[in-house]
Amino acid sequence: MIRNKFFSAEEIAPRTFRITNCFDSHERMTTYSYLLEGDERAMVIDTMFGYGNLKTFCRELTDRPLFLVNTHYHGDHAGGNFDFDECWIHAADIPYLQNMAAAVNDPATFRNMRYEQMKQAALPENRDSILPTDFSMPHPMFIWPVWDGDCFELGNRLVEVIKVGGHTAGEIVLLDRTTRICFTGDACNSNTLLNLPGSLSVEEYLENLYHFKTFQPAFDHCHGGHEDFDASIIDEGIELCRRVLDGTDDHWETTGMRGGVCYYGMARIPQETALGTRYGRSDGKRFNIAYLAETVRKTPKTPRIL
């Protein structure tokens, strides 16, 4: 385990590190970034909240040139992007990331927003030691688009981009056939949120899960932004989405993270674990999905006027 005041890293496979903020509350939500080292360069996947300088910490893990790829634009995955000078992200998520990048014009507000997010996610005993001045400072940076099927060559290590839009329109996962790991961001997990502004319909997400499944023989593990699973989580996702579309899911009503009614495919059963309360399913399976009644089926797209 390698650590500094802000981060700790664990080598989960050869030349493959999982990084987390030491201050995270594991009960509420653990958030991960990853570093994959090749012979020529090293890929950083996601940047968490922007608390502490992630790039500086990555320098303790590798001396290869670093580059950053985001699985999607959300603040717990791209909050530390400003530690870098450029990033790669799916084209469909770029407008949302640019909204965040507009913080360049108002760095104080940006830092305060990240500060509040981190305080909420932190262990109670750590909250008072979190300082607004320890957050990434916004500055102009390059954003490059990636598309489904693109590959990053790290030097005798190729990482493939697979688009699994749903949670966000441009959500991607990154497949490393060398270690048989797929880095899945928030694409497919026990709390797959499709009830957010910018999420796709369940119907579109299911199409993307079928696409994702065609790669399943190439990996054993899904290492996500908050959780990890074996590759069969995709099958559970497909099964539950089909039930949502058929109207045979639990249609379990609750209040979403940002208020308003949303539904889960399966009732969420609180379960006590060593890390605190987790939400599981009564049948022991792991995948779950939150959706809105009006976004089950896809609606006709408004054409892009060029």
- Site of interaction with Zn ion (CB under 5 A): 74, 186
In this complex, which beta carbon is closest to Zn ion, that of residue 38 or of residue 224?
A: 224
Q: Is the Cα dihedral 259, 46, 173, 218 positive or negative?
A: negative
In this complex, which beta carbon is closest to Zn ion, that of residue 24 or of residue 37?
A: 24
Length of the chain: 306
Q: Two tokens at 130?
A: 């979190």
Distance CA 192, CA 167 (A): 7
In this complex, which beta carbon is closest to Zn ion, that of residue 151 or of residue 257?
A: 257
- Provide, rounded to whole angstroms, the least separation between the CB of residue 167 and Zn ion: 6
Asked whether the beta carbons of 187 and 209 are under 8 A apart, the reply is no
- Provide, rounded to whole angstroms, the least separation between the CB of residue 143 and Zn ion: 17
- Provide, rounded to whole angstroms, the least separation between the CB of residue 76 and Zn ion: 6
- Provide, rounded to whole angstroms, the least separation between the CB of residue 195 and Zn ion: 12
In this complex, which beta carbon is closest to Zn ion, that of residue 74 or of residue 114?
A: 74
- Provide, rounded to whole angstroms, the least separation between the CB of residue 264 and Zn ion: 16
Asked whether the beta carbons of 19 and 3 are under 8 A apart, the reply is no
Q: Is 289 left (phi over 0), alpha (psi -120 to 50) or beta?
A: beta
Residues 6+ apart with CB under 8 A from 63: none
In this complex, which beta carbon is closest to Zn ion, that of residue 157 or of residue 226?
A: 226
SS3 207: helix
In this complex, which beta carbon is closest to Zn ion, that of residue 83 or of residue 186?
A: 186
Give start and end residues of each alpha helix (H) in 168-302: 202-213, 233-246
- Provide, rounded to whole angstroms, the least separation between the CB of residue 184 and Zn ion: 11
Nearest residue (beta carbon) to Zn ion: 74
- Provide, rounded to whole angstroms, the least separation between the CB of residue 246 and Zn ion: 27
Q: What is the dihedral of CA 121, 109, 107, 21, to 10 degrees?
A: 0
Residues 6+ apart with CB under 8 A from 52: 4, 5, 6, 7, 21, 80, 134
In this complex, which beta carbon is closest to Zn ion, that of residue 61 or of residue 202?
A: 202
Give start and end residues of each alpha helix (H) in the chain: 54-58, 75-78, 94-101, 107-121, 202-213, 233-246
